[in-house]
Amino acid sequence: MDQAETRLRQAVAILRITLGVILLVTWWKNLQDGIYTADGIVGLFNYLFNDNGGGPAFYQAIINGTILQVPGLFAIFQLIGELLLGLGLLVGLFTPLVAVGAALFFFNLFLAYFGGNEWIWTYVLLTVSALVTALAQSGRAWGLDSLVLRRLGEPPIGPIW
């Protein structure tokens, strides 16, 4: 690995670690604010769709027909999912899979806030960052994926680490 290559991987690793920290800090704040409860999830989407004025009609219809039918169940899924995404990115384990999950999550936020009062580019930045983290397999620098790679070699089915 030449110097430029090393620098590239390490630069994206910093991005990955930052995404992990952002997810974990937000997770902790959401936990304290009671977002990961049925009432919290209903309140969140109420804010997004009514107070903030975001979310295209098709997106609101999907959320109303799925998540808001079982907010308590979704709250548990969100509690565990966001924690796992944050930890996975922070330590760089199975980074491509975790980062694609994070990109989908961030893209979901992009849709939820689209057309509202917030600066929508925040969610573009987050989604792009997660996608680049996945494509660069950035857990191979300063991440546990480097240990997995050394022990098991290249993944047998697609870029898992």
Partner 1 sequence: MSIQAPLWPIAGARAIIGLLWLFSLRWKLPPDFMPSEGRGLMDWLELEVTHAAFPLYGTLVEQLVIPNFTLFAWAIFLAELIVGLSLLTGAFTRFGAFIGLGLAVNLGIGLLEVPGEWPWSYAMLAMWHGLFFVTRAGRVWGLDALRARN
- 4 or 65, CB closer to partner 1? 4
Q: Which helix (H) or strand (E) holds 54?
A: none
Cα R_g (the chain), whole angstroms:
17
- 67 or 103, CB closer to partner 1? 103
Exactly one of 108, 118, 142, 147 binds partner 1 (CB under 8 A); that residue is 118
Sequential DSSP letters for 93-153: SSHHHHHHHHHHHHHHHHHHHTTSSS-THHHHHHHHHHHHHHHTTGGGSSSHHHHHHHHH-
Residues of span 86-105 touching partner 1 by CB under 8 A: none
Does 51 engage in binding with partner 1 (CB under 8 A)? no
Percent of the chain that is helix, strand, coil (3-state, to 5): 75, 0, 25
Task: Pick the piece of the chain touching partner 1 (CB under 8 A) from 10-18, 35-43, 55-63, 88-96.
Answer: 10-18
User: Which amino acid is residue 145, in one-letter code?
Assistant: D
Which spans of this chain sit near partner 1 (rule: CB under 8 A)? 1, 4-5, 7-9, 11-12, 14-15, 18, 22, 117-119, 121-122, 124-126, 128-129, 131-132, 135-138, 140, 149-150, 153-154
